Structure 1
Amino acid sequence: MKARLFTTLLTTVALLTAVTTIAQDRLKIDHGPYLQEVTQKGSTFVFQTSLPTYSYIELKKENGDKSVLYYQTKHGLKQANTDFFSIRANDLAPATTYQYRIISKEMVSFQPYKVTFGDSIASPWYSFKTINPKAQGASIFITSDTHSDANKLDTMLELCDYKTCDAFFYVGDMMNYMSVGGEHPYSSFIDVSVNKFASSIPFELVRGNHETRGDMARIFPAFFPKSNDKIYGSYLMGDIMVIMLDSGEDKSDKHPVYAGITDYDNYRSEQAEWLKKLVKTKEYKKAKYRIVLTHFPLVVGEQWRQEGNWTGWYDAVDKFLPILNKANVDLVVSGHTHQFKYHEKHVANNNFPQLVQGAMCATRLDIQDGQVNVKVLDTKGEVLMDKKL
């Protein structure tokens, strides 16, 4: 009798364990976490859960014993009963290593006066470092035009020795379009970034013209949140200032394919006014190195000029180039044409070198001792350029 009772108890425990395991397997972090907008005093943590949850970040200094909890809140409400989270932590210390993890609770029932939670999970601890304002130089990875080829991105990261890079920038057309049931930022480039580095080092995205296309294009920026709610902006890493400009679409706003629902001419004018103010700031003038990233090159080859179809591209050049020509820029890096090309200063009214990445290339900038070393590799590992500026 006792043996039978003991067997029954073991069976019950085994069943309960199996049910718990199945429930926990249902609840997981599907995508991320990946970091965005890491500054001297803050960081944003982005992730997606497999079920609707109430999730938050637990954060502490490296090897510290005191944690602080951060939530995504708006209008007095903490984000809950959803699977997508973008949580900002501010008031951090510069040049400091932190550890963080995600806590998620399944929401089984969400009634007006009764909330029922299900299973809870905690992610592993990850670490990251806030920006050091006194840092000198850096190694930067840049690519563009991968067009949803995550394997190509993975290859380029490896060839550029990504583990020794301090920052990562994607200069547009990382996707073909943004559409329900079609391509997704996760499978296109975010997931591979997370697998490599993005839970500890952020990537920054410069939108390309292909990311403006599709029925989900208007929510695309939500995956890459900024405190000022802008896509364009500047990123300061010690003595390096990186300026990110959003070129918009390459054709006229009046082109039939846009169906009258774009306004990029005015958008580029807005950025030009912002850029005029930026280059006059103490922060910009103090920077030792100034790198500009924009999907459209600011040197338009004769082939593209003769075609005459790319009025959006020409508009970007006309509005951005005169400002940057007076701003002591060290280098402009772009994509778009799918053809590798390096333009020296003064070939087309440009007072700075212009690097155009090919669609099968990536760039590594090693910036130190007053020099910018530009190394461009293709997907076979062939060095297309290795030059000190």
Structure 2
Amino acid sequence: MDMAAANTQDGVSYDLNYETWAPTAKSTLVEKGLWDVVENGLPPDPTKNPELAATIKVADLAQWRNRVMRDIKALKIMQSSLPDSSFRKTISAATAKELWDSLERGNEEAKLRRLENQFEELSMCEKESIKSYFARVTRIVEQLRVLHMEKSDYEVVKKVLASLSTSYKEAGPVIEELMDVKKMNLDSLAEFFRRFDAMPDEYVYRMMKQEAESGGGKWCDVCKKEGHKKEECYSIPKEGDWTIQPDFGTEPEDGVAADYVMLAKLELGAFTYDEDTWMIYGHATCNMTPHEKLFTRLDRRQKAKVGLVDGTVIMAEGRGDVKIVMKDGKKKTIRDVLFVPRGINRNVLSVPLMTSRGCSFEPGERGECVVRDKTG
């Protein structure tokens, strides 16, 4: 008995769908009149008990032997319906009830391991709402509780905070400032996020700055990110970037003719650029992006070559229109943007091209570049 239990405690094999197998097997056993031996088990052999052996009636012994035969039949039916791996794991089961109970127990253990893994691997998807993510977390926590594996409120809250998407990364410092995490549960955390979404951006950024600087780190007041200071920020156009030079030349140093040029060297590993951030270049003759999903219209038939300052030529795989959302919520369309999937890791806005379309460029209060079209 112990050996059978030990073998099956490794869990139901992955090629056995227990939730489908169990009701099908039970239905077959009921139909053949064998379910009672599986459910109630087999009584001990009366001939092995000296007291019973001396007094047992022939009819009672025959009845016990008949039950043994039915148990063997039920055991064979179940074993024959199992995949090879599950059969090998349960081959030492001596009775039909022992086999059934060990598979049922193994399934509970396997379910528990699956749920434990799901909890450990929890991660909020980009663009997933807080409500949807919390519903996923709650569902797993509740299923674990049913299996008598309870997670403390603190464990759940810490897991959620550690697995938020990048769009909610700034929530951590604010929570640490305003709340006692050890006293929170999932409901109070959900309530916090309802209030957090309504907080002014400046308040959130102030909390993040305090958190970064208190740990000896750096904080940038321009892009609102950790890891560098304002004067090191890649989003601030450097001196000369806004200078429009009318004579670019259209042939890089290696002699390969280019349709457009961008007189800058793009270090692909230097920074991680947000998809909604556009870098301003005074030495570029075209607008470009590597992000296909930004396009509202894309014509892949329009190919082009773009030459960089180091002589590299990269390929544009199409041209189309990109819609951007301004800070005030208004939507604007940048037309004739080149789609360059390889060779750049940022959105490029060409000063000379946009100026020719009536746009103006001026520095903002925090060092950013403010672009205005004819409508302001």
TM over 0.5: no
**Larger gyration radius, structure 1 or structure 2:** 2
Q: TM-score range by the shorter chain?
A: under 0.3
Bigger fraction of residues in strand: 1
TM-score by length of 2: 0.21
Higher relative contact order (CA 8 A, sep 6+): 1
TM-score by length of 1: 0.21
Bigger fraction of residues in helix: 2
